[in-house]
Structures are given as structure tokens and as C-alpha cells.
Structure 1
Amino acid sequence: MPNEKTMKQAEARIKNTINKSNNLLEEKHNYEQILKHNMNLIFVIRQENDRFYFSLLAGKLKEKLDLSDNLIGKNADLSILDHGLKALFKEKIQESLTGKEVSFRHTYQQCDIYSMLSPIVKNGQVIEIVGTSIDITSFKKAEQEIEYLRAYDRLTNLPNRDKLLKDLDESIKDKKINPLKALIMCDLDRLKNINDTLGQYAGDQVISLISERLLQITPRGCKIYRFGGDEFVIVMDQTIKDISRLAEEILHIIRQPFVLSKNDFYMTGTIGISYMNESVEEAEEYINRASVAVHYGKVKGGNRVIEYNNQMSEKYNEILLLESDIRKAFQYNEFTLSYQPKVDVHTNEIVGVEALIRWEHGKKGMIPPSTFIPIAEEIGMIEKIGEWVLREACSQFVKWQSSGLKPVIVAVNVSAVELQQSEFLKRVKKIIKETGMDPNYLEIEITENSIMQNTEECIDRMNQLREMGISLSIDDFGTGYSSMGYLQKFPINYLKIDKSFIKELFSQSGSAEIIKAMIQLGHTFGLKVVAEGVEGEQILSFIQNQDCDYYQGYFYSKPVEPELIKEKLLAYS
């Protein structure tokens, strides 16, 4: 007969078993609740003989797709899908059975769906496939809007530079170029004076009025483009006489007064004409020729029409001078870094800073990065400048740390040229080692387009950066490829919404929905979302309500010197 000690041990084992059982039941309940309240759709696909069956696990999306609760935990034949969708799923399942993760878009019940199939492999065999479906209807609408915004200027609704390049490329490929077809580039003279005097809004009014006037005078068959800034391009297929007449008429309408703030303002323009023929095979060449003619006309005083010829070299001379100035600026330490805080949307606490290069030219004043960085890339100076920026930013972080400040992430912009250089990773490692920078507080910002130029190589380098502890962000999101595929494919941490969308949040129809979709998209892929260009409390309130994570902009701080950043950080220490 068991003694008392044996009985107590048995009782203890029984209680322990019961506790474990209760814990497992609780975990099971919690797991079921998570699945139940998941906003997506989760399902499992199994193969029996030559047929495929799927069973729903859970997800609120099933209600929107009108899927029966009876499918939960039950095997259902693919025949519940219509013929086209059934064939698509069979194709993707077969692909997934090779052990490959598969993602694809489709529609169901008038919803746009993004589905992902992930094979479960055991002993080298796929035993089942776990699927996830996400409702991307709102994002697809926003994506269509982005596609329009990518091809058309938001201020004038004219096709933009990208659309011009695309249209010219198509014409060249189709060999439809008429020898008399011309590209007319019109550059407004001294629009900056109006912007500086009356503000950006007045300058935008001028651009809008110019576009209206151009639409009124251009013959049928002509295409008008907002090339950018203060430039328009007209592509026409007319006689030389008609082309010259239109160019002069464009100058005439520009000279007509503009009523701004109840006052008349007068402007002039400079026009460059590039005649198109089959000897030129690149769209950019036509544009460059017209641009050279414009710059030649401006050197002559502006307010005139210039037809391109091969002797026009003033523009190139100016570029050569700027190239020389860039080399001297680097040699004589004329470049400096300013830092703009990245702030938590909800706590208003600084969580990071972005390092921004500045160049104060001795004679020309402040030259924006958008002017000198492309030239630096072209002349092979970007490697040295990029290395200096990274080293300076890392050294500054260490200085802040030595002062006892709370560590915050320092973000550095990297160009497509730098990212593709074979020595880039070695250079980053060397700078981190030599400066004593903690890589866990370093962030590298890359634009959408730069990561798409050499995809596989970019993925490899980005993965190596992540392995070093460095964070990665996609800068200016929405202005480039805007592909859901790369958000899933590339090892990024942050998504930065371009300031152009934030700026027009309340002035452009659809902007709010686009920003909402971008934030939701980022969170769907587990990314932190940063809104750039926040300049008012109303905008901040909006992104707070959308659960955006961080923001940058003049509402909190413009880019400032390191000492001012130190003061701001001390306020939170």
C-alpha cells in the first residue's frame, strides 16, 4: 500500500499536469483569438492525390469575401473558386510545391487581393502550404492615383517629364519621327523673384496661368508637358515656319501681365528649339539640345527664341566651372552637415536625426544638393563626398555620446552610385571602426529608384548592412516604383513618405487617402513609417490619427547645426 510520501508525490504530479493542461488551453484560446481578430485571411492548402484542398484557419477578411464559417477547419475543394481564379491558384500552388514562396495579385468578390503562399517543408518534402490573403483594394486605388501623379503634374494636370521621356522613347522605337518635328522648351525668366517676393503660392499661380495660356494657343496635335520647376515642353509636328511662329507666340503670352495680390506683374521667357530626326536615338538627347539652347539664350539675356546648333557650348562651360568648384569645395572643407530631427508622432520625442549636406559657395551662395550632387556623381566625386558625410555624421554621433547625451539614430543618405560601388561595404565598415560608431544607431536612406537599378546586388548589400546592425529606410516613398513587391523583398526597416504628398494633404483630392494607404501598407509589412515635410499642427494631427510612427519637418525643426541638436537632446535627457 502506498505510503503518505508516495501519495503526496503523486498528488503533486497530478496538479502539475493539470496546471500544464490549463496553460496549454489558455495559450490555445489566445492563439485562436489572435487568428479570429486578424484583419487578413489565413488558410492551409493540402494535396490529396491530384486534387488540392484548402481550409480556412481564421481572419476577418473572410466576412468581406463572403466565405462561409463552415470552411473553417474543413477541407474545401478549389471548385468554390471561379474558373479563372481556380486556374491561377493551381498554377501558383504548383510553383509553391517546389519549395518556393509565391506571391500574386488577384480579385475576389470585387476586392483586390494580395495572396502569399509559404510552403512547409519536412524531410525535403512540402507537406502543406500556408497562405495569407490581404485586402489591397484601397491601396490599389491609391496606387492608380500614384501612377497618374507619376505621369502628370499636380499643379497644372499637364503630363510631366517622365511622361515626356516615355512618349519620346515610344516614338523613337516606332520610328515615327518626322524630320520637321520639334521639341520646344520654354523656361520662365526670373520666376524665383516672384517666389521670393510673394511666396511659393504666387509662383504656382503663374505656372497655372502659363499652362492655361499655352493650352489656348497650341495647335491641335501638339503635346504640352510641365517639364519641371519653371519649364514647359511642347512637342509638335508642323512646318519650320509654324514652329517658329508658335515659339514667338509663346513669348508673347508670357509677356502679358499676371495679376497677383491685386498688382500686375510682368515676366519673360526663354525658348530653346531642338529639331528631331532619325539620327538621334535617345529621348534625352532631344531634351538636352533644347536645354542647351535655353541656357545659351539666358546667357544672351533671355526673352528670346534660340534654335539649337552644335556650336552652343556655354552650358557645358558652366557645368565644367561647377565641376571645378565642387573639387575645390571638397579640398577646402566648404561642405558642412546640418541635422534635422526625426520625432515620435505621439510623444514628440526626438528618436533620430537626418544628416543633410550643405554647400556655401564663396561667390554663388548656398547651392542646393539637388544641383551639385548629380554633377558630383557624374564627375566621380560622389564617393569622396559620400565618405566624408558618413564619417562626419558618425564622428558627430560619438561626440554627442561623449557629452552624455541619450543615443539617437543618425540617418545618412546614400546615392544609387554609392550603393552600387564595389567598395561601398568596406568603406562603411572602415568608417564605423575608425570613428567608434555604434552601427545599431546608424541608418542608411536609399531612394526607391536606386534600389531598382541593380536589384539582386542591392539586396545582397542591404542584407550585409543589416547584418552589421545598420537600419535601412526607403526615402521619398511614392515618387518612384511604389511596388509592394520590393517592400516584401528588400530588408528595410523604415518607409519615408515623400514630402510632396504631405505638402498637398489638404489641397489635393485623394492625397489623404494615398497617405493613409501608404501608412497601412508600411505597417502591413512590419515597417515603421516616417512622414517627411510636416509643417503644421493640422498635418501632425492627421498623421497621428493614422498611427504614423515618426515625422520630420519645419513644424518641429528645420535642419540645424550639431550644437542646436545637442540642446534639443538635452531637453529630453
Structure 2
Amino acid sequence: MPHESNVYPSTNDLLRIVQHNMNLMFVIRKQKEQFYFSFLSGKLKEKLELPDAVTASDRDIKNIDSTFILLHRTKLKQAFTGKEITFRHHFHSHYLFTMLSPVIKDDEVIEVVGTTMDITSFEKSEQQIEFMVTHDILTKLPNRQKLLDDLDEIIHNNRQDKPKAIMICDLDRLKNVNDTLGQFAGDQVITLIADRLKKATLEACQVYRLGGDEFVIVIGQQVSDLKVYAEQILQIVRQPIIISNHDFYMTATIGISYMSEKACKTEDYINRASVAVHYGKVQGGNRISEYTNKMSEQYNELILLESDIRKAFKFNEFTLSYQPKVDVYTNDIVGVEALIRWEHGKKGKIPPSIFIPIAEEIGMIDQIGKWVLREACKQFVRWRNSGANPVMVAVNISAFELQQPDFLPRVKQIIKETGMDPYYLEIEITENSVMQNTEECIEMMNELRAMGVSLSIDDFGTGYSSMGYLQKFPINYLKIDQSFIKELFEESGSAEIIKAMIQLAHTFGLKVVAEGVEGERILSFIRNEKCDYYQGYFYSKPLEADVMEEKLLAFS
């Protein structure tokens, strides 16, 4: 039979094993409600810089009570009642897991044996996983799930610091950037806008990325005028963006949902802001919309229109009317602008201001744009074949179409198919659309000019193009937006703005078209200021193709 010492390790062996253990092993005793280590060992002891074990007889026991013990007096008290305790805690820069096991003798806890493990690496991994679950990887902003969790915690726990409102900031036409410059450039834009929003956000507010091109700002403090603050956000988004030597601009639409109106679910607040955003989008985007109950009703109507637009295109319900462009001095028709019209089977005439933004939202604008261009070119050929003197035919091109890689080949193909004379084709581009991707737009415009196509900037004065870029654009015409014309004698400063626009255009060698002229007084003013052409109800409303043909034949 082997000797006992050969079966069981000696005390020295046990101490050596404990000392080389990766964990912290200790025994804690209590004297007069004070805790102290009676045994303390393991490699983690040195790592945590804990003091050596002491005995109850030490005079300085009060001073030797370590932070490690003081932080967890409640846990130790529980263990000294006879309970086994496990808990996670943080000590200095370490995350720890401690197990406390009471030693009972004669129904009394005489000491507590403890083991502590360093779980810092595991804790950091968990934190990283938690961050990945609750944050957007691209922007590092909290994500939709985090937004819902935060709002649930704040709203339904009757916290005093309830947010005042939710703002959704949805970038306009980010798809154009992705299609033109690639997904990587689109991601760069999102990251840049996220950084701008973080810097612009008020102290008690939080920015989230809802997904795609949508950001949410939870307004956590009282703001005197939230629309003013929202406008500041839009201005920040509109600042120039330079990526891979490409200089362009972005716009956004903001929807606001106020928390003063109670909702059944947390998501209802977000959905209200989403409705406001969508409502703003179909109004043309680049604006602020505040949610109202009436807006929900209108929103539902707009949703129904989406399927109707698809049917209208499929069953050829769209038609074109033509707005004459008239010489200010001779009153002769020098051109026409093709305008799309839709006669809905049940709802009657639906204005383009309603269905065009919806078509953009649902991805139908490209198909509609092709149809308008082809139909307008066909109509020019019909008028010419009827004996009418040829006039310029202007077609509006959306920002989406302009950004498509196949736009130029499409224009060339339609000109070839229809027999259109390119020197009588005018393409109208809105001021904001050319500012979204200026260098590429300028290059495309130069190619169109080389084909013989004329170009005009539509709605001038409503966007944010710089004089420098206006000088670079290879355009023929500048169209002053009708909002300035109609306010000519009503708003102070409108007359001076119009004068400046005409002078600026003539300085750059451009012809000027005034839109929305509805009276002799306005016509006299623009004539005195040497405006070249005008459009508006004073001369004629938009006419159907056959009526327009009669007018053109009368001038032949």
C-alpha cells in the first residue's frame, strides 16, 4: 500500500498549484462587520494589484480593506448568510466573474471561499456583438432596433425625459449616386451625411440610421421652433459633396412626428414621421412636412395612385399638351413645351405635380420620361409633315433620367427612330437636378449640344446653383420660375430679382424665358427689361396637339 504522502499533495504543493492558477482564489473572513482576506493567491492577484492577505490581529485592518472588497459588501453579506453567490463586476480595467461559497461550521458561516476569473476578453466580445446588433456597421450610428428599444424604454416606463418629437431625414435620389458612381460612392455619401448630422444634433438629441438613406433624429429637448431646426438640418445636407473628384449636391426630405400625440405602439410614432416624409417626397422632396391626421388620409390616397399610375402607363392613359413659348416683342410662337397629362377614369384630371413625384418614388419615371420624349418627337414630325413651320419642342427631363448611364444613347435612338430634327429639340433640366452631379451633367450636356440639341435650365431661382457653375453649363435658355413672375407686384424685391436674373442670363449669352405670365402688366414689365420669351395663360393655356397644329399652321 503506497505511503499517504505519495497519494495527497503536500501543503507546499497545494500552495504552488494555487499560486500558478490563472484565476484569483481567496478566503474572506469577517470581524466586527469588516471583511478581510485571510487567504489570497493566484496569478490574477498580481494582475489586479490586490494586497496580500492579512489576519484579524493586524492593527491596520481598516486600511487594508481593498476596493475589491468594498465594492461588493452587499454580495459578501449575502454569502455570510449562507448563500452561494455568483456575479459579474468591473474592477479597474478588468471585467470579472466571481463565485462565493460560504464555509459553514456549527450552523455558522465562519468564512467565504471565493474564485474570480478574468472575463475581459469575453465581455468585450459580447459588447462588440451587442454593438453590431444595435448599431449600423457603415455609419456606427444606433440602428432601427436600438431606436425601438430606446423609445420603448423611455416612453412606456413613464420616464420624465420623454422625447418631444421624431424627425426622419430621408435623402433624395441617393439611387442616382449609386447608379452613376457606384455603391461605394453611395456609402461614402451616407457616411458623410451621418457625420454631418451627428455634429449638428442638439445635446439632448440622438441620431439613428433607420436603414438605406433614412436617418432618425429623436428630439430630446424643447426646441422653440422645430421647423427652423429642421431647415438647418436640410441646409447641412445641401452642402457640397466631393467624392473621387466628383462635385455634387444632395437634398433631403424631413418628416416630423410630435410625441404630444399619444400612440398605441412605439412604432406608430416612427410610422407617422414616415408618412410625413413620403408626403413630402410626393410633393417634390427637398422640404419639411409635419404629420397631421389629414395627411394620413391623403397619404392613403397617394398609395392607391401608385397602382393606378402603372395601369395608366400600361393602357396609354397619358397624353401630351403643348404650352406655347412666345416672342415678347412679336408675339409669334417660337416653340412649345410638351406637358404630360393624365385623365383618370374615376378621379378625373390628376395634375403632374401629384403623379410625377409618385412615379419617381415607385421607379416609373424613367419609362414615362422615355414615352414623353418619343411622343413629343413624333408630334414634331407630324406637324412638320402637315405643312406647319417647325418650332422648338421642349421636353422636361427628370433628375433621375439625367443620371442614367443610357440617357444619351436613348436620346440618339429616339431621334433616329422618329426622324426628329435635333436642332428643334430642347431639353429642359431643373436647376437642382444638374447640381446633384455637376461634372457628369456638364459632360452630358456638352454631348447633347454637339448633337444639335438645345438646353435650358428650368425653374431658375428655386435651387442653389452658384454663378460659377451657371457659367459652366452649356445651356441656351434660362427659364425664370413662375413663382417670381406671379409675385412680381406683390412681394417686395421680386422685381429686382427678375431684373438681376435677366441681366445675368444675357451676360452669359443666354436667352430668357419668363414662365407664368398671366397679365398685360407683367408682360410690359418683362418686355421693358428685355426678356426674350414668355409662357403663360395670358397668351394661351397648354393646348392639345391638334389645336396647337392649327395655331402653327396659321403662322406658316
Using structure 1 for the length normalisation, give the TM-score.
0.50
Q: In structure 2, the residue corresponding to 1:514 is in which secondary structure?
A: helix
Q: In structure 1, the residue corresponding to 2:506 is in which secondary structure?
A: helix
Measure the CA separation in 1 of the matches of 2:388 and 2:361.
Answer: 39
Q: In structure 2, the residue corresponding to 1:425 is in which secondary structure?
A: helix
Q: In structure 2, the residue corresponding to 1:506 is in which secondary structure?
A: coil
Kept in 1: contact 2:387–2:553 (CA 8 A): no
Deviation at 1:445, TM superposition (A): 0.1
Q: 1:354 aligns with which of 337, 360, 374?
A: 337
Measure the CA separation in 1 of the matches of 2:229 and 2:490.
Answer: 19
Measure the CA separation in 2 of the matches of 1:360 and 1:495.
Answer: 31
Measure the CA separation in 2 of the matches of 1:383 and 1:234.
Answer: 30
- Equivalent residues, number: 324
Deviation at 1:307, TM superposition (A): 13
Pair 1:329–1:471, CA change in 2 (3 A):
same
Measure the CA separation in 1 of the matches of 2:347 and 2:229.
Answer: 28
Pair 1:345–1:169, CA change in 2 (3 A):
farther
CA deviations over 1:15-36 (Å, ceiling 9, x no partner): xxxxxxxxxxxxxxxxxxxxxx
CA deviations over 1:84-111 (Å, ceiling 9, x no partner): xxxxxxxxxxxxxxxxxxxxxxxxxxxx
Q: 2:305 aligns with which of 322, 330, 334?
A: 322
Structure 2: runs of 5 or more not aligned: 1-166, 173-192, 208-221, 232-253, 281-290
CA deviations over 1:520-570 (Å, ceiling 9, x no partner): 000000000000000000000000000000000000001010111112212
Pair 1:223–1:305, CA change in 2 (3 A):
closer
Kept in 2: contact 1:334–1:359 (CA 8 A): yes
Aligned-residue RMSD, C-alpha: 4.1
For 2:360, the equivalent position in structure 1 comes to 377
Measure the CA separation in 1 of the matches of 2:351 and 2:292.
Answer: 29
CA deviations over 1:286-313 (Å, ceiling 9, x no partner): 843556799xxxxxxxxx97699xxx9x
Q: Within the alignment, does 1:288 sit opposite 2:274 as a pair?
A: yes
For 2:161, the equivalent position in structure 1 comes to none
Measure the CA separation in 2 of the matches of 1:437 and 1:292.
Answer: 38
Q: Which has the larger radius of gyration?
A: 2
Measure the CA separation in 2 of the matches of 1:398 and 1:420.
Answer: 28
Kept in 2: contact 1:477–1:495 (CA 8 A): yes
Pair 1:165–1:503, CA change in 2 (3 A):
farther
For 2:386, the equivalent position in structure 1 comes to 403
Measure the CA separation in 2 of the matches of 1:349 and 1:292.
Answer: 42
Pair 1:372–1:488, CA change in 2 (3 A):
same
Instruction: Tell me the amino acid that sits aligned with residue 526 of structure 2.
Output: I
Instruction: Tell me the amino acid that sits aligned with residue 288 of structure 1.
Output: S
Q: 2:349 aligns with which of 366, 374, 377?
A: 366
Instruction: Tell me the amino acid that sits aligned with residue 323 of structure 1.
Output: E
Instruction: Tell me the amino acid that sits aligned with residue 221 of structure 1.
Output: S
Kept in 1: contact 2:513–2:532 (CA 8 A): yes
Q: 2:422 aligns with which of 439, 457, 473?
A: 439
Q: In structure 1, the residue corresponding to 2:420 is in which secondary structure?
A: coil
Q: Within the alignment, does 1:174 sit opposite 2:197 as a pair?
A: no
Pair 1:572–1:489, CA change in 2 (3 A):
same
Instruction: Tell me the amino acid that sits aligned with residue 502 of structure 1.
Output: I
Q: 2:225 aligns with which of 210, 222, 225?
A: 222
Q: 1:522 aligns with which of 492, 500, 505?
A: 505
Pair 1:327–1:486, CA change in 2 (3 A):
same
Deviation at 1:485, TM superposition (A): 1.2
Measure the CA separation in 2 of the matches of 1:454 and 1:180.
Answer: 30
Q: In structure 2, the residue corresponding to 1:445 is in which secondary structure?
A: strand
Kept in 1: contact 2:275–2:299 (CA 8 A): no
Pair 1:165–1:403, CA change in 2 (3 A):
closer
Measure the CA separation in 1 of the matches of 2:294 and 2:524.
Answer: 52
Instruction: Tell me the amino acid that sits aligned with residue 199 of structure 2.
Output: K
Q: In structure 2, the residue corresponding to 1:535 is in which secondary structure?
A: coil
CA deviations over 1:293-348 (Å, ceiling 9, x no partner): 99xxxxxxxxx97699xxx9x88765543222111101100000000000000000
For 2:399, the equivalent position in structure 1 comes to 416
Q: Within the alignment, does 1:563 sit opposite 2:531 as a pair?
A: no
Measure the CA separation in 2 of the matches of 1:286 and 1:519.
Answer: 43
Kept in 2: contact 1:337–1:358 (CA 8 A): yes
Measure the CA separation in 1 of the matches of 2:273 and 2:552.
Answer: 48
Pair 1:305–1:168, CA change in 2 (3 A):
farther
Instruction: Tell me the amino acid that sits aligned with residue 380 of structure 2.
Output: F
Deviation at 1:365, TM superposition (A): 1.7
Q: Within the alignment, does 1:511 sit opposite 2:527 as a pair?
A: no
Kept in 1: contact 2:279–2:299 (CA 8 A): no
Instruction: Tell me the amino acid that sits aligned with residue 174 of structure 1.
Output: A
Q: In structure 1, the residue corresponding to 2:366 is in which secondary structure?
A: helix
Structure 1: runs of 5 or more not aligned: 1-160, 182-218, 246-272, 277-284, 295-303
Instruction: Tell me the amino acid that sits aligned with residue 403 of structure 1.
Output: S
Equivalence map 1:52-451=2 (5 Å): 172-176=198-202, 178=204, 221-224=224-227, 243=260, 287-290=273-276, 318-451=301-434
For 1:478, the equivalent position in structure 2 comes to 461
Pair 1:227–1:545, CA change in 2 (3 A):
farther
Kept in 2: contact 1:394–1:432 (CA 8 A): yes
Measure the CA separation in 2 of the matches of 1:225 and 1:359.
Answer: 36
Q: In structure 1, the residue corresponding to 2:501 is in which secondary structure?
A: helix
Q: In structure 2, the residue corresponding to 1:464 is in which secondary structure?
A: helix
For 2:55, the equivalent position in structure 1 comes to none
Pair 1:305–1:447, CA change in 2 (3 A):
closer
CA deviations over 1:401-424 (Å, ceiling 9, x no partner): 011111100000000110111111
Measure the CA separation in 1 of the matches of 2:472 and 2:356.
Answer: 28
